[in-house]
Amino acid sequence: MTTISKGVAVIEAALVNIPFSPGVYRMLDANGDALYVGKARNLKRRVTSYTQIGRLPERLRRMVSETVSMETITTHTEAEALLLEANLIKRLKPRFNIVLRDDKSYPWLMLTEDHPFPQISKHRGAHVRKASYWGPFASAWAVNQTVTAMQRVFLLRSCTDSVFASRTRPCLLLQIKRCSAPCVGRVDEEAYGKLVAQAKAFLSGKANSVQKELAAEMEQAAEALEFERAAAVRDRLRGLTFVQGSSVINPASLTDADVIVAWQIAGQTCVQVFFVRGGRNNGNRAFYPTHTKAEEGPEVLAAFIGQFYDDKPPPPLLLVNQEMAERDLIAEALSLKAGRKVDIARPQRGEKLAVVQHAETNAREALERKLAETAGQGKLLQGVAELFKLPSVPQRIEVYDNSHIMGTNPYGVMIVAGAEGFMKGAYRKYGIRGPMAPGDDFAMMREMLQRRFGRALKERAENDAASDWPDLLLIDGGAGQLSAVRDILNDLGVHDVALVAIAKGPDRNAGREWLHTEGVEPFQLPPQDPVLYFLQRLRDEAHRFAITTHRAGRSKAITQSELDEIEGIGPARKRALLNHFGSARGVKMAGLADLEAAPGISRETANRVYAHFHAGARVNTGA
């Protein structure tokens, strides 16, 4: 029986228990990983279509041939199935689906509501604090620009509550007219509350009413001969007018909407998203979903929208540039998720069409740049293959480095580069476990390579291949490092990976590096050689990643104390103890009665802390 016949047999066996209801199906390979996730209004009818091999394109035939099991989940409606499908695709990343690779969180603008004088700030992550959240924004730059504008127009504080409580005189923001200084009583709670209300109205798209209110306030101050106050309001009005500027970038006809367009060139797609909130452009971002060349723009756009809003609320309106076959179903699913009506429109005229065309221009230019960069990357990889006489153009180059200070907080890192440039999703950090002599770089490299290739060799033994096997390893160092790494790989049984070491030139001058590879005398390249520049970039990126990883680990270690070793002492109790006694040493020297008197510390907790620092001491259990 051929593999495709086996796959068909698996599907036919699963069909016995598949109902005619809406739902989601998953095709799984021999490892239990998802090959494909799909949704259907009628599960049995849709899955049956995969048994009709003659009607399937080559891509789906290959998928069926790799299928060894199936799973299905029923839903009440097709819209629910669409939401579940998008969630599973984003989480499982099946090989035969269109997949959006978007793991970054989006920043929001936050106005706190748990303080008499609310703070305005940038926020990422879960919305757990009692506050008003506005966004999302495409980037930190976009939200920072908005925070600055809000400070200029509405004079809201941006300092933390602890800084606010400790101020005895106003900071520089008062002098540059970006804060009303509530920390030192320059504005009372009622007046500040009015500023906050105006800011919320502005963020809600009611800028015209805010502008009229400010204009009336300025005239009233002038009539009362309060010229200084009138001038201050005038400055706020000017800032508001500047922020309000209406154009294709800040469309007046849109209040809350996302503009989502897809542009295809040479089988690749760029999806450009513009966030419009309160009539203002909150920035834009380009995405490059992974898909086969057979998928058309409408298919890619439909799959993108479902996955994009899996972890964020959709606005009331989406403007698109493609006519999607399931537009009404997608709108129904997003409405179900948002708990209110969501429309998807493809504008034909007017300002909305101009906004979509502007987004299309950005998508086309971004994709053209990416294709040009990919072509340039391909030439560089071809140059690497020719320079080091590799059997083929490397698709995966791994670079290793480590960082420590006199052997403390040692970390090793691996960065990866390929045809698309730096593959940051494949970067890895290795906290060195030892034991080893302080600063023993060779021992650190040995541990790092053993852990990396130990896992890959296990995967290769189970699957006859490793999905992330490198073609070339680049090492920072000279002949000694090259020989040491080859010995480590030989001990592991790895003989099919090319090695190159790049040693810093005289006086550590960039451009005078010596290149070491096996079977060839060390050599140098001309300082302006593109391949040398490429290798320098790889080495420098590994060095940067190693340094930042080490610094993060060192900072974490500095913030730890002996209190972390006590069972039952979490962040809140640790903070309470340190605030009360001043330091971990102060806690250690405290008596049992002092510990019990600390705020937020129960008798049981005090006994546990005291027993930790005074082994063998008898403590009062309260019995």
442 or 498, which is more confident? Answer: 498
What secondary structure does DSSP assign to 37-51, as a single string?
EEEESSHHHHHHGGG
**What is the mean predicted confidence (pLDDT) over 218-234?**
75
Q: Confidence band (pLDDT; 50, 70, 90) for 103? A: low
Judged on CB neighbours under 10 Å (0-12, 13-18, 19+), 465 is exposed
pLDDT in tens, 158-202: 888 888 888 888 888 888 888 889 999 888 989 899 888 888 888
State pLDDT tens for residues 351-386.
889 889 999 999 998 888 888 777 888 889 999 999
Cβ-contact 36, 97 below 8 angstroms: yes
pLDDT band at 585 (very low <50, low <70, confident <90, very high): confident
Whole-prediction pTM: 0.67
Position with higher pLDDT, 210 vs 74: 74
State the Cα–Cα distance between residues 115 and 160, nearest whole angstrom.
11
CATH of domain 562-613: 1.10.150.20
For the cut 80, the answer to whether the pLDDT of residue 546 exceeds it is yes
CA atoms of 62 and 514, how far apart (whole Å): 46
pLDDT, position 119 = 92
pLDDT above 80 for 388: yes
**Residues 6+ positions from 455 with CB-CB distance below 8 Å:** none
pLDDT tops 90 at residue 455: no
Residue 475: which H helix or E strand, with range?
strand 472-476
CA dist., res. 154 & res. 201, Å (int): 11
Convert the pLDDT of each residue in 468-495 to its tens digit: 889 999 998 888 888 989 998 888 888 8
pLDDT 10s digits, 400-454: 988 866 556 688 899 999 888 888 888 998 888 777 666 677 888 888 888 888 8
Using the predicted structure, report yes or no on whether residue 251 has a pLDDT greater than 70.
no
Asked if 20 and 44 touch (Cβ cutoff 8 Å), the reply is: yes
Confidence of residue 520 (pLDDT cuts 50, 70, 90): confident
- Judge whether 66 and 7 are in contact, CB under 8 Å: yes
Between 510 and 153, residue with greater pLDDT: 153
Q: What is the DSSP string of 531-568?
A: HHHHHHHHHHHHHHHHHHHHHHHHHHHHH--GGGGSTT
**Domains 257-368 and 397-557 agree in fold:** yes
Q: What ranges do the domains of the chain cover?
A: 3-92, 108-244, 257-368, 397-557, 562-613
Higher-scoring residue by pLDDT: 228, 615: 228
Residue environment code for 379-388, b if the CB has 16+ CB neighbours within 10 A, otherwise e: ebbebbbebb
Tokens 């106003």 correspond to what residue? 170
pLDDT of amino acid 369: 84
Q: Place 219 in a pLDDT band, splitting at 50, 70 and 90.
A: confident
Q: How confident is the model at residue 273 (pLDDT cuts 50, 70, 90)?
A: very high
**Are the C-beta atoms of 549 and 411 separated by less than 8 Å?**
yes
Cα–Cα distances in Å, from 108 out to 53, 75, 132, 304, 606? Answer: 48, 33, 10, 22, 40
The answer to whether 386 and 532 are in contact (CB under 8 A) is no
How many CB atoms within 10 Å of residue 188? 11
Give the pairing type, strands 498-503 and 514-517: antiparallel
Integer CA distances (angstroms), 150 to 143, 201, 499, in order: 10, 12, 54
Report angle CA 311, 315, 318 to the nearest 5 degrees: 105
Alpha carbon of 213 to those of 167, 199, 208, 393, 499: distances in Å? 31, 12, 9, 66, 70
Task: Give the Cα separation of 257 and 238 in Å (integer).
Answer: 26
Band (pLDDT 50/70/90 cuts) for residue 280 is: confident
171 burial via Cβ count (<10 Å: 0-12, 13-18, 19+): middle
pLDDT at residue 398 in the model: 94
Give CA–CA dist 56/21, Å, rounded: 23
For 332, the 3-state DSSP assignment is helix
Kindly indicate whether the domain formed by 257-368 is annotated with CATH number 3.40.50.1980. Answer: no
CA atoms of 473 and 486, how far apart (whole Å): 10
Q: How far apart, in whole angstroms, are the C-alpha atoms of residue 133 and residue 131?
A: 6
Q: Which residues make Cβ contacts (< 8 Å) with residue 542, sequence separation at least 6?
A: 399, 400, 401, 413, 414, 415, 474, 476
Q: For residue 364, how many other CB atoms are within 10 A of its CB?
A: 16
337, 309 contact by CB (below 8 A): yes
pLDDT one-digit tens code per residue, 15-34:
988 999 999 999 998 888 89
pLDDT, residue 141, reads: 80
- CATH homologous superfamily, domain 397-557: UvrC, RNAse H endonuclease domain (3.30.420.340)
The per-residue pLDDT for range 39-91, each reduced to its tens digit, is 999 999 999 999 998 888 888 889 999 999 999 999 999 999 999 999 899 88
Quote the tokens at residue 103: 């793991």
Mean pLDDT score of the chain? 84
- Note the pLDDT of residue 25: 94
Q: How far apart are CA 307 and CA 450, in angstroms?
A: 37
d(CA 410, CA 401): 11
CATH architecture of the domain covering 3-92: 3-Layer(aba) Sandwich (3.40)
* pLDDT for 247 beyond 50: no
Asked if pLDDT for residue 246 goes beyond 50, the answer is: no
